[in-house]
């Protein structure tokens, strides 16, 4: 935890987070989930309703009649497990929804408390999971990506094998299980290992640079292998459950029926212009991250650029090849870029650092009230 609590007080922020989450999830549930301006969008509502049927009836269905597979397995499984546990006590829908919301809010708090330094950064990181709507799998995906960035791809100790993070294989396998297309982000981030810290090369690296570069492909290939394993597991489990390799949502959002120009036009604006603010936030925060990467020592820049580019590649890929994207597609990139600015950028006391944080907070407020 990096929020400033130590020793016997380290659990205080987690207890506070749990209580605040309970307040948001239960007494304030009606206000936060009101239609049409609440925090639950269509896809989130589908997740919740299917999870309720999974937990209370043991069937993957939205209406209790037809079987559906239009969701990502891990996130729906977590929500279904929550509903199943609550179902031991009651089948009242609002209690089930409250428990699912509590889990979601705690994931947002986990990001803030794990990666924020000071209460302002904690609140900023927590808020990102709220303003892009709730109950979507990309928040869990963002947590996994931030762990990889912090513990692996931008960790000097990891690059020097001193030692490698033991949970890295599990997190890499989980990426495509949370979202199959997240394999793209992990695959690009893995290229960071091609650019070692300067001192990691040693005398041998000074003599034969190509040999050092060749050695760096080993961790890249290892990461790709773990990601590929997760992708194969996702496909195999989905086929075993539904006798189909792809979900309904994947089939509906493919390339068919629209030209490239039509997809770009729609995805830039979204329904009723809803995506436009998301695009502006994405571009601005990516620009801030690039600005910080440019100020890194020259030997480190390529590695840092690779990390901040990976989630942006994910967004651009969907802008081009997906017929319909929404708020939550931007969230992994926004989370990584905001964390990167807070972690490696100028301090809050400097003019640039303070201005950057103020812009982030302002855009979040504008997003809430748009």
pLDDT at 149 over 90: yes
Contact 351, 337 (CB under 8 A): no
Contact 187, 224 (CB under 8 A): yes
pLDDT in tens, 305-332: 999 999 999 999 999 988 888 889 999 9
pLDDT in tens, 344-367: 999 988 888 888 888 888 877 766
Query: Is 0.85 surpassed by the pTM of this model?
Result: yes
Contact 70, 46 (CB under 8 A): yes
Mean pLDDT of 219-241: 94
Confidence band, pLDDT 50/70/90 cuts, at residue 204: very low
- According to DSSP, the residues that pair with 67 across neighbouring strands are 61
Contact 306, 257 (CB under 8 A): no
**Mean pLDDT, the chain, whole residue set:** 86
Match 């709507």 to its residue by tokens: 133
Dump strand ranges (E) for the chain.
none
């Amino acid at each position: 935890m990096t929020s400033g609590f130590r020793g016997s007080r380290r659990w205080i922020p987690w207890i506070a987070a749990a209580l605040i989450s309970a307040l948001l999830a239960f007494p304030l549930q009606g206000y936060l989930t009101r239609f049409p301006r609440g925090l639950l969008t269509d896809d989130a509502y589908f997740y919740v309703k299917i999870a309720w049927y999974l937990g209370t009836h043991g069937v993957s269905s939205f209406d209790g009649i037809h079987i559906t597979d239009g969701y990502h397995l891990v996130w729906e499984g977590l929500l279904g497990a929550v509903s199943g546990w609550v179902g031991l006590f009651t089948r009242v829908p609002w209690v089930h929804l409250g428990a699912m919301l509590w889990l979601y809010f705690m994931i947002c708090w986990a990001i803030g408390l794990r990666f924020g330094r000071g209460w302002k950064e904690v609140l900023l990181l927590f808020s990102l999971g709220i303003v892009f709507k709730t109950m979507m799998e990309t928040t869990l995906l963002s947590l996994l990506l931030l762990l990889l960035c912090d513990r692996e791809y931008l960790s000097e100790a990891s690059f020097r094998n001193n030692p490698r993070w033991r949970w890295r294989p599990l997190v890499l396998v989980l990426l495509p299980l949370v979202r199959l297309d997240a394999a793209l982000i992990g695959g690009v981030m893995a290229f960071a290992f091609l650019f070692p810290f300067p001192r990691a090369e040693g005398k041998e690296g000074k003599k034969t640079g190509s040999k050092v570069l060749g050695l760096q492909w080993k961790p890249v290939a290892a990461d790709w292998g773990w990601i590929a394993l997760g992708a194969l597991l996702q496909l195999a489990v989905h086929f075993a459950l539904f006798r189909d390799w792809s979900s309904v949502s994947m089939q509906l959002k493919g390339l068919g029926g629209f030209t490239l120009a039509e997809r770009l036009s729609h995805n830039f604006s979204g329904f009723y212009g809803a995506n436009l603010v998301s695009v502006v936030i994405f571009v601005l925060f990516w620009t801030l991250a690039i600005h910080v990467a440019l100020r890194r020592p020259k030997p480190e820049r390529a590695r840092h650029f690779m990390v901040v580019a990976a989630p942006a590649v994910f967004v651009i890929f969907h802008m081009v090849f997906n017929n319909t994207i929404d708020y939550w597609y931007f969230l992994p990139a926004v989370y990584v870029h905001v964390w990167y600015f807070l972690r490696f950028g100028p301090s809050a006391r400097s003019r640039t650092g303070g201005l950057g944080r103020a812009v982030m907070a302002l855009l979040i407020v504008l997003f809430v009230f748009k």
